[in-house]
Amino acid sequence: MYRIAQKRVLNEQVTLMKIEAPYIAAKVDAGQFIIFRVDEKGERVPLTVADADKEAGTITIIFQSVGGSTRKLAALNEGDSILDVVGPLGVATEYEKDIKRVAVVGGGVGCAIAYPQAKKLHNMGVYVDLIAGFRSKDIVIIEDEMREACNELHICTDDGSYGYHGFVTNKLQELIDGGAKYDEVIAIGPVPMMKFICKVTEPYEIKTLVSLNPIMVDGTGMCGGCRVTVDGKLKYACVDGPDFDGHKVDFDELMRRNGTYKEQEKAHVCNLTGEVRGNG
């Protein structure tokens, strides 16, 4: 059992939790993820680790309540426990050598994954522009944490209610046009966002890493559910990724595959038990 050491509600849909998992906290690095189960009947849900405290033996996860499992998790409180936390899984992010300036781009809850990337690079002495996109001001999360993890924080909102009025792609293009010389761009968020970030960087030949989130079951490469096509070759996000060269990812195929079980993934109430079920 894994005890919840801290719970913080970031907005109506998004929750931050620190979970006691000392063995994972000792080894996890930026870009890696865990898979949790709330209880013995729970689904296996992957979540990227947003932060880790080796001394306290805790890992931080930030998640959106979108299905039965994440709703169950969000309903728990400090002192409660969940059944399983497996990890660290995936390959830690590998950066270019001698990088001096990087743009880390996060979209929505993807900012929780962008944050540890920015934090690690910033601690390495790299100049970090962190571009964080949200629909509106009321759903902005971890602003203070992000600000401490970069040299410049650019918050963008679709409706202009806070920060830059526009998409993260527009802000990135503006920074490049303004003379920013990036050695690398790291993009994490909705698949369409990552696709269009890559379209911005491709003409400038800026290496662009994306963190992919395909359908995943076991997280160890056995089920094949998370397969993606990268540079024309079959890869598995759970063991080969989740980070890949965005200029080589077949995003259109990824979007089609992610929509395969769209109807089945919707949360629903079981007529027999009254239990809320659904993916995530």
- Give the pLDDT score at 88: 93
- Give the pLDDT score at 135: 94
Total Cβ atoms within 10 A of residue 232: 7
Structure tokens belonging to residue 6: 């801290």
pLDDT in tens, 173-188: 999 999 999 999 999 9
Structure tokens belonging to residue 74: 């969000």
- Give the pLDDT score at 94: 86
- Give the pLDDT score at 276: 53
Low-confidence ranges of the chain (pLDDT < 50): none
pLDDT in tens, 147-174: 999 999 999 999 999 999 999 999 999 9
Structure tokens belonging to residue 23: 């063995």
- Give the pLDDT score at 72: 93
Backbone angles phi, psi at 89, to 5 degrees: -115, 160
CB distance 105 to 115 below 8 Å: no
- Tell whether omega for the bond before 242 is within 30 degrees of 0, i.e. cis: yes
Q: Which residues pair with 20 in a beta bridge?
A: 58
Q: Which residues pair with 47 in a beta bridge?
A: 34
Q: What residue ranges define each of the domains in the chain, with the CATH number in brackets?
A: 2-89 (2.40.30.10), 96-201 (3.40.50.80)
